[in-house]
Each structure stands twice: as structure tokens, then as C-alpha cells.
Amino acid sequence: MLRPIVPAKAGEISLDYHMTLEALRSGVANQYHVGSMAQAIYMAMLLNQRGYGSAVPELFRDAEGAILRCRQAGLETGLCVVDHDAYALLGQVLTLFDQQLAAAPVRELIAVNAKLKTLFSAANGHCDGDENTA
């Protein structure tokens, strides 16, 4: 758990996200792809905050804005596509994430993934544990 993820698995994860970006570029993506790209953005951001990377916060802010615009356009038109600038920006995030996968220990990836799940659950109004029902 102190070592990075094995290179073959890191490559598999990386390929999946890069294929997602290509789907978004080519206009064949759906909301699943948008969510997957959002996950990559937030994973990279959280790993960056933990010292795995030196990206400026604006990279993540701008990437989040791009994927949110893509999501909204997809909801309105049924077409989930990113423009050239968003593609380049998201490509920067994925390049950083590739580097993070190669450097961050598995325990860090697990911790960041757990934090991300907690954040997404809270954002969706779900809580672990007791929920009040009326």
C-alpha cells in the first residue's frame, strides 16, 4: 500500500479516462462520460492537494467549469461534447492524473477515492448511517 499502483493497472485506468475524453471530443459521449471525467478532475485535484502534483487551483476550477458546461449542454440538447479549449484543458488534467497514478501510493488513491465518494454522497443528499424518514 506504500507503493504506487502497478503500471499495468495505472495504464488501464489512464486509457479509460483518455477514451472518455475522446468520446467527449467526438460528440458520442453521454452523461456517464461526463460523470467519469468529473471524477478524474476531482481525483486529480484531491491528489494535488495532498502533494502529488503542483498544478494551480485554476486548472481544476476551469476544468470543472468546462465539464459542468458540457453536462448542462447535454441535458439541454442530448449532445455531450467539449470544444477544443475544453478538450485541451481536460487533457492537461488527465496528464497530471497519469503522473499521479504513477507516483501516489495505493493508500493515497484509496483515501482520495473514499473522500470523493463522501463528497458526492453529500452533494446528492445521501448520508451514510441513519436517515430520517417521515
Write out pLDDT tens, residues 51-80. 999 999 999 999 999 999 999 999 999 999
Q: What is the mean pLDDT of residues 102-126?
A: 91
How far is it between the farthest Cα atoms of the chain? 49
Residue 125: band (very low, low, confident or very high) from pLDDT cuts 50, 70, 90: confident
Q: What is the C-alpha to C-alpha distance for residues 49 and 35, in angstroms, rounded to an integer? A: 21
Give residue 77's Cα distance to chain centre: 23
Q: What values do phi and psi take at 105, rounded to 5?
A: -65, 155
